[in-house]
Structure 1
Amino acid sequence: MSDPQQPQVPPYASSPQPYPSQPVPPAGQPGYGTQPAQPQGYVLNGHTPQAGHPAPDYSAPGAPGYPAPRPSAGNAPARIGLIMGLIAVGGELLFNVISRILLFSSDYRIVDMLYMVGTPLALIAAVLALTFGIVGLRRPGAPHGMAGIATGIGLAVTCGIVVNFFINVLTPLVYDLF
């Protein structure tokens, strides 16, 4: 513990003033515990402005002589990519539901035609979502949440369509072997 006669000074506070029991330096000589003369102007947290650096202005935004801050425009490629990804997922789900209904109620040629039209459209939307998502991720200073979601959706739908295509191509080949 410290001596109860001396108050504790936090490290960020100015150095303590000399106590009467300590010798006081002669006038004109800076000694321990004395502070240099403060320049004219404001003092903020013990700091004065440096030469060449103006004092900060804490006036309200849009004050006379200062432009008002513009709101962030967001990340347009990410938004476009997210919309395209949702279209790809929704289209793929819709084509799957319609094809299952048509398999039990009509001819297989209609189902094949639906897959020939719907799958490329969903693949185009997924590739666009992936592309716009990557472009949105590469924009500095823009929010990246939607861009990451768009990239993930685009990549997942693209991989699903490609794997489904290879399964549909390889299934007849394997079936003929057995």
Structure 2
Amino acid sequence: MAAYARNTIRWNRACHMAMLRRATSQRLSVDGEVFLLAADITAARNSVEVEKVIVQRTLRRLLGGAVSSERVASLVERLGTAQMKEADLELEIESMERDYRQLLLYREAAVAAELTEMAALEEIPRLPAATEEEFRLVCEADRRFREDSDSDAQSERSILLFRSNNHSFSDS
């Protein structure tokens, strides 16, 4: 009985270790996505700043005067392009920030799952590996249990068969 109890403890610990590995893997995966998205947001913000500089410089040239009409048309076109890029980047950043907030929630859940499994593991004692004798005892107990279950199931089938046969005789 003690060998079986120790085997159960080892089994529970192994199950929680597997769940901890999955939770850690999930957290690390989300951490990677958070990191990559943060880098993308930073790059997009830098691009917005570049476009803002282009817009400011173009506006200064346009408002500075002494520019030929051909140059004005070119500067206005450049200004429109830079403003459109800036607006597109702002929308993209907005979308990425929404995704980022969602990823942070996923990360929070992954960290909570990981901490839960760590706490569960702390509650389960660490046992040394089973000895050969202990392993043999557990296997023998399992074999006996299955034999008893099979014989119980066979007995139940026999009883049901007997009852059904008796009812068919009494009904005639």
Greater per-residue helix proportion: 2
Q: Which protein has greater RCO, CA pairs closer than 8 Å, 6+ apart?
A: 2
**Shorter-chain TM-score category?**
0.3 to 0.5
Q: TM-score, normalised by structure 1?
A: 0.38
Q: TM-score, normalised by structure 2?
A: 0.39
